[in-house]
Amino acid sequence: AQSVTQLDSQVPVFEEAPVELRCNYSSSVSVYLFWYVQYPNQGLQLLLKYLSGSTLVESINGFEAEFNKSQTSFHLRKPSVHISDTAEYFCAVTSIQGAQKLVFGQGTRLTINP
The residues binding another protein (CB under 8 A) are: 31-32, 34, 36, 41-46, 49, 51, 90, 94-102, 104-107
Q: How far is the CB of 96 from another protein (least distance, A)?
A: 5
What is the phi/psi pair of residue 97, to 5°? -125, 160
Nearer to another protein, 32 or 77 (CB): 32
Q: Which residues lie across from 11 on neighbouring strands?
A: 110
Kindly state the DSSP code that residue 80 receives in the 8-state scheme: S
Output the CA torsion sign for 28, 32, 33, 34. Answer: negative
Nearer to another protein, 15 or 32 (CB): 32
Q: How far is the CB of 36 from another protein (least distance, A)?
A: 8
Contact status, residue 47 vs residue 59, Cβ threshold 8 Å: yes
Q: How far is the CB of 106 from another protein (least distance, A)?
A: 6
Q: How far is the CB of 100 from another protein (least distance, A)?
A: 6
Nearer to another protein, 34 or 85 (CB): 34
39-43: long-range contacts, CB 8 A cutoff, minimum separation 24: 39/86, 39/87, 40/87
Nearer to another protein, 70 or 99 (CB): 99
